Each structure stands twice: as structure tokens, then as C-alpha cells.
């Protein structure tokens, strides 16, 4: 983790064209919002006004610009294959929305290496650093670069079929192998570091990072893992087996899930956003990702406090450690 000073030093000096686009300060912030939420539209308006007022340029996706009340000075960019990175020259990615929007933002953040600052407009929002009531503080911290940057582990995912690699992907939270047909169990064999662990039928298996331990893996009965812990998780989903417990492995372990030949087809989901069909006999391998996602942090609150707040855990009666 770097300090806010280090975070600001890591930002490359803008070129002349970038400075011209980025407002009087030569700085540019990219804004991503869930335009289907009225709260996100209003929040985006407030953030854009605050940044432009301080001379910081704002860049948005052209596909979102039509749904946002943006001034002409806001830069619109097209995203898509063959186009340059939309975050090029930006120092920060500000995301307004729920968990799905934040995971969408993570796709941009990972590709570019630009830190992502999430503002939660959804229900839980573990990836978010601020809430809707904190918008003034968010703008102030961005303007003064008063934030720290931490790196979160990701997953690299590889699918083999008949010995050939047929698909590659990645995930910040989890890669889940799931049954495609509701009425049939998915038969799988799990593996850790090249050795078989267990065969069972069930709804599937979740392979997760510590960041994803409070998402799908948590719902499937997995442990909560503090983000500072470097580890991989493997959590069976509704398994029909005597031994189908959640596993926590070393960060350099290789996890694998083999879909058995006689079972119906399965499906691979990465962060609940990207999916690919798994034919019977397919093998999914999951390992630590080569590229992390960088998150901007405004607070020094412990993960314990974040956990208690997000899940509204009862802590009445706590007396604290003896002095």
C-alpha cells in the first residue's frame, strides 16, 4: 500500500494535449456511473460540478453521457475493441453505483492500472470507499489527492477442453463453476496443486480472492478473509457430499475444477459479469492473477469496522481490551 503522497507521485505528468483536455490544472478524472439509477445521475452531476469548479477535467463514456446532465466541457470518449484505453492520462476512476457497477469499473481499472474510487449507491458495496452522503468529501479528497492506493489480488482463469485451452479470463471477486440446468446436479472433481481433493455433485464451486470472500463465496458458506491476507478460496455450492468444506489455500496455489464427462454442461461465471459454457469434461484452472486491481482509499478504518458496518453486526455489550 502506498501513501497518498506516493499515490500522487505515481501519476504521470500529462502531455500537452491531455492538459488541454483536463481543465486548468491539467488533471483528469474518469467518471463511471449506473445511469439507470436516478441517485447515480444526481450524484454524477454533483461530482462533475465539484471537480470542474476546481479546474479538474472530467471524462465519461459517450454511451453514458446522453443520460447524464453534463456540461459541454466534460470530455466524451468512445470505448470498444481497437480503441485506445479510455483512461489514458487519467489519474483516478470514480465509480458511482452498486456492486455490479463497481465490478464493471474494476474491468477498466485493471486494464489501465488507474486506481478506482467507488461510491456506493447500492445495498452492501464492500468495494466502495464512500457512501452517497460523502460526495463533498470525495471531491475534496480527489482535488487534494488525499487518498491512499492499495492493490487487491485478482484471479487468472483458464478453461481447457480435450487438452486445449479454449478460454481465458480473470476475476476480482470470484470465478464460479455452476450447473447450467436447474433440475440436474453438476458432477465435479476439485483439485489443489495438481492433487485431487473431492468429487461431488452439487450446484457448483466458487474460487475466490479475499476481496471476493464477502461476496458469492460468503453466500455459499465460505469464510470471511481479511483483504491483507494473501490466499485463495475454494467453496462448494450446495454439495451432496460428506466432505465438501470451504478450503483456504496458499496464494500461489493452483485450483482446478473438472466437470465430469457424464454430467450435464456447466457454466463459468467471472465476477457474475462474464460467462462461458463448460461442456462435459471441461477443466477450469484458477491461479493468482498477474495484474492486480488498484483501489483508492479515503479512510484508515479497519476491515473489522467495515465488516460490522456493512452487515450491521450486533456488537452491543463489547467492553474492549483491558488497558
252 is catalytic: no
- The phi, psi pair for 9, rounded to 5°, reads -70, -25
List residues bridging with 58 in a β-sheet. Answer: 29
Q: Is 311 annotated as a binding residue?
A: no
Q: Is 203 annotated as a binding residue?
A: yes
Q: Is 184 annotated as a binding residue?
A: yes
Q: 85, 99, 134, 305: which one is catalytic?
A: 99
Q: Is 219 annotated as a binding residue?
A: yes
Q: Is 161 annotated as a binding residue?
A: no
Evaluate whether 186 touches 178 at the Cβ level (below 8 Å): yes
Q: Is 147 annotated as a binding residue?
A: no
In angstroms, the CA 21 to CA 14 distance is: 10
Collapse the DSSP code of 105 into the 3-class scheme (helix H, G, I; strand E, B; otherwise coil) and give the result. Answer: helix
Q: Is 198 annotated as a binding residue?
A: no
Q: Is 216 annotated as a binding residue?
A: yes
Q: Is 283 annotated as a binding residue?
A: no
In angstroms, the CA 304 to CA 226 distance is: 8
Collapse the DSSP code of 218 into the 3-class scheme (helix H, G, I; strand E, B; otherwise coil) and give the result. Answer: helix
Report how far apart, in Å, the C-alpha atoms of 154 and of each of 110, 116, 260, 284 are. Answer: 9, 14, 27, 16
Collapse the DSSP code of 120 into the 3-class scheme (helix H, G, I; strand E, B; otherwise coil) and give the result. Answer: strand
Residues making up the binding site: 99-100, 104, 173-174, 184, 203, 214-219
Residues making up the binding site for NAD(+): 99-100, 104, 173-174, 184, 203, 214-219
Active site residues: 99
Amino acid at each position: 500500500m502506498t501513501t497518498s503522497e506516493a499515490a500522487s507521485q505515481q501519476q504521470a505528468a500529462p502531455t500537452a494535449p491531455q492538459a488541454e483536455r483536463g481543465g486548468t490544472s491539467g488533471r483528469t478524472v474518469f467518471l463511471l456511473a449506473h445511469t439507470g439509477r436516478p441517485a447515480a445521475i444526481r450524484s454524477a452531476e454533483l461530482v462533475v460540478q465539484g471537480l470542474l469548479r476546481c479546474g479538474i477535467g472530467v471524462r465519461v463514456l459517450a454511451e453514458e453521457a446522453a443520460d447524464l446532465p453534463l456540461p459541454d466541457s466534460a470530455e466524451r470518449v468512445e470505448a470498444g475493441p481497437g480503441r485506445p484505453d479510455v483512461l489514458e492520462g487519467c489519474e483516478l476512476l470514480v465509480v458511482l453505483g452498486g456492486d455490479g457497477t463497481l465490478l464493471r469499473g474494476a474491468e477498466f481499472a485493471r486494464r489501465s492500472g488507474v486506481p478506482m474510487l467507488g461510491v456506493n449507491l447500492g445495498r452492501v458495496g464492500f468495494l466502495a470507499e464512500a457512501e452517497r452522503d460523502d460526495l463533498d468529501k470525495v471531491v475534496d479528497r480527489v482535488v487534494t489527492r488525499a487518498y491512499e492506493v492499495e492493490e487487491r489480488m485478482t484471479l487468472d482463469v483458464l478453461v481447457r477442453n480435450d487438452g486445449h485451452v479454449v478460454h481465458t479470463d480473470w476475476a476480482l471477486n470470484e470465478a464460479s463453476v455452476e450447473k447450467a440446468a436447474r433440475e440436474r446436479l453438476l458432477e465435479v472433481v476439485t483439485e489443489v496443486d495438481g492433487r485431487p481433493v473431492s468429487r461431488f455433485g452439487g450446484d457448483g464451486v466458487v474460487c475466490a480472492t479475499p476481496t471476493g470472500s464477502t461476496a458469492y463465496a460468503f453466500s455459499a458458506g465460505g469464510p470471511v478473509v481479511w483483504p491483507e491476507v494473501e490466499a485463495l478460496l475454494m467453496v462448494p455450492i450446495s454439495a451432496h457430499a460428506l466432505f465438501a468444506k470451504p478450503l483456504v489455500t496458499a496464494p500461489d496455489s493452483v485450483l482446478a475444477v473438472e466437470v465430469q464427462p457424464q454430467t450435464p454442461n456447466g457454466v463459468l461465471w467471472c465476477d457474475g459479469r462474464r460467462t462461458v459454457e463448460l461442456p462435459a469434461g471441461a477443466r477450469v484452472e484458477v491461479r493468482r492473477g498477474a495484474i492486480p486491481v488498484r483501489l483508492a482509499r479515503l479512510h484508515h478504518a479497519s476491515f473489522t469496522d467495515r465488516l460490522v458496518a456493512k452487515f450491521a453486526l450486533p456488537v452491543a455489550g463489547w467492553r474492549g481490551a483491558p488497558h
